Amino acid sequence: MGRLFGTDGVRGLANASLSPELALRVSGAAAQVLSRGRQRPLALVGRDPRASGEMLEAAVTAGLTAAGADVLSVGVLPTPAVAYLTGLYDACLGVMISASHNPMPDNGIKIFAAGGHKLEDAVEDRIEALIAEDSPIRPTGAEIGRVRNASGARDRGLEIPDQYSVEGTHGRYVEHLVSAAGQDLSGLTVVVDCANGAASEVGPAAYRAAGATVIAIHAEPDGVNINDDCGSTHIDKVAQSVRAHGADLGLAHDGDADRCLAVDADGEIVDGDAILAILALDMHESGTLAQDTLVATVMSNLGLHIAMRASGITLRTTAVGDRYVLEELRRGGFTLGGEQSGHMIFPEFSTTGDGVLTGLKLMARMARTKRTLADLAAVLTTVPQVLVNVPVSDKSQVAKAAVVRDGVAEAERLLGENGRVLLRPSGTEELVRVMVEATDPVQARQLADDLAKRVASI
């Protein structure tokens, strides 16, 4: 069996590669590894609204209770809400059933440790080892876990404290978001594309609770329409709605609402790099940007590097993936990080990317400064970028080849501080991605083509 865990949990085609049987085994093993020595560990389970989530939640719940864990089912909530509530209720683990921005037929299982933290590689390895052994602990009788459903389970003889009700779980998350935003948003009108996903209720509720006038679109999930021609992967839809309603801005979430992209009042896209720049400057000015350092991935545009350098902010880069951003944030004690794709992480308030919190923070900056989003986004000028995907026979050998190393060195010499070069092996295919950024787009194309030919020759 190959490695189950990818960059963000276990993901696959629901009822095929991601079967109920696998979900049961993964959750049971996770309960054993993450129980923290408790006799009756508490596991919190949430999901996005895709149809297969109902089936997989049943399997995950069976795996957890069969391992002796009590389960609190919180229903449809964003991934960051599940992470937050895992910490709030002192659960030993949290499980989010979602495939994020993937199409509806896919689904996934994301697991959080105590405190709502993503799993380290070593912990994932221990879970996979237990699954491979296929000798799960199976308590019997009264030691079998019980299920509390936040929508009400008193008819099953389980007394549920008020904080475990739907109103309690969802309300506490919304209160947390509004408190973290720390700014009255009255006077701002926002269009929110909920992607027919997990933020369809709590997203608009949080924006309204903060004072904004909210126009919610694609907020009617039916189990099959999640991410379907909407949300952060189809941002043209929110742009059209912003122009039609004369709104101040638009926000677009993905299926599990851990990311957020924006458009200004004219419908122009404000991507993750621009959002990072706006928020970093806001925190820099307020003295809350720890060590005046922002964390981003190597895929962030050179324009972000230039803008941060001009503002006296250090930009630290990591490998692609929000887990690597998180690791760097923790290691350095930094307070803001994110990705071009729209994952923004505020360690003071969240243990993972939170799209709704990002939207609130972005609008808070607008409200405090009385500036438009277009004006704020002008701090970043995107540098032209050329990306070439080069098929290779063995991607592990490319970086070692002298012809490639020489080409990279020459390109970097020619670019100086006016550009950069990045060669990155694909995580899933025998491909090498050649990226060149340069203030001169013609030069960027020429250098990228030259490097692609060198890579292809290996």
Query: Residue 59 is part of which domain span?
Result: 10-164
How far, in Å, CA of 440 to CA of 404, rounded?
22
pLDDT of residue 404: 95
Residues 237 and 103 in one domain: no
Q: Is residue 58 assigned to a domain?
A: yes
Give the tokens for residue 126. 């221990």
Q: Is residue 349 assigned to a domain?
A: yes
Residue count of the chain, please give it.
458
Residues 50 and 126 in one domain: yes
> Which residues are marked as active site?
100
**How many domains is the chain partitioned into structurally?**
3
Q: Which of 347, 377, 407 is a domain's end point?
A: 377
Residues 201 and 293 in one domain: yes
Q: Is residue 116 assigned to a domain?
A: yes
Q: Is residue 22 assigned to a domain?
A: yes
Q: How far apart are the two ends of the chain, measured CA to CA in Å?
A: 30
What CATH number is attached to the domain comprising 262?
Answer: 3.40.120.10
Q: Which of 356, 377, 398 is a domain's end point?
A: 377
Give the tokens for residue 452. 């692609």
Residues 111 and 46 in one domain: yes
Q: Is residue 3 assigned to a domain?
A: no
pLDDT of residue 154: 40
Q: Is residue 4 assigned to a domain?
A: no
3-state secondary structure of 198: coil
Q: Is residue 276 assigned to a domain?
A: yes
Residues 455 and 390 sit within 8 Å (Cβ to Cβ): yes
What CATH number is attached to the domain comprising 421?
Answer: 3.30.310.50
pLDDT of residue 321: 84
Instruction: Locate the DSSP E strands across 177-278.
Output: 189-193, 213-217, 249-253, 260-263, 269-270
Give the tokens for residue 317. 């880069």
Q: Which of 343, 361, 377 is a domain's end point?
A: 377
* CA count, 13 A, side-chain hemisphere, 163: 8
Residues 240 and 331 in one domain: yes
- Order of all β-strands in the sheet with 337-338: 314-318, 293-297, 337-338, 344-345
How far, in Å, CA of 44 to CA of 4, rounded?
21
Closest by CA to 66, choosing from 34, 29, 92, is: 29
pLDDT of residue 218: 98
> Residue 185, Cβ neighbours under 10 Å: how many?
24
Residues 216 and 350 in one domain: yes
pLDDT of residue 320: 85
Strands 117-118 and 106-113: antiparallel
Residues 243 and 361 in one domain: yes
Residues 288 and 422 in one domain: no
Write out the binding residues for Mg(2+): 100, 254, 256, 258
How far, in Å, CA of 232 to CA of 422, rounded?
26
Residues 206 and 318 in one domain: yes
* CA count, 13 A, side-chain hemisphere, 215: 18
Is the C-alpha dihedral spanning 314, 320, 325, 331 positive or negative?
negative
Residues 338 and 199 in one domain: yes
Residues 91 and 225 in one domain: no
The answer for residues whose C-beta is within 8 angstroms of residue 331's C-beta and 6 or more apart is none
Residues 160 and 179 in one domain: no
Residue ranges, the chain, pLDDT below 50: 152-160
pLDDT of residue 373: 98
Give the tokens for residue 282. 């806001």
Q: Is residue 5 assigned to a domain?
A: no
One DSSP character per residue, 94-129 reads EEEE--TTS-TTEEEEEEEEGGGEEPPHHHHHHHHH
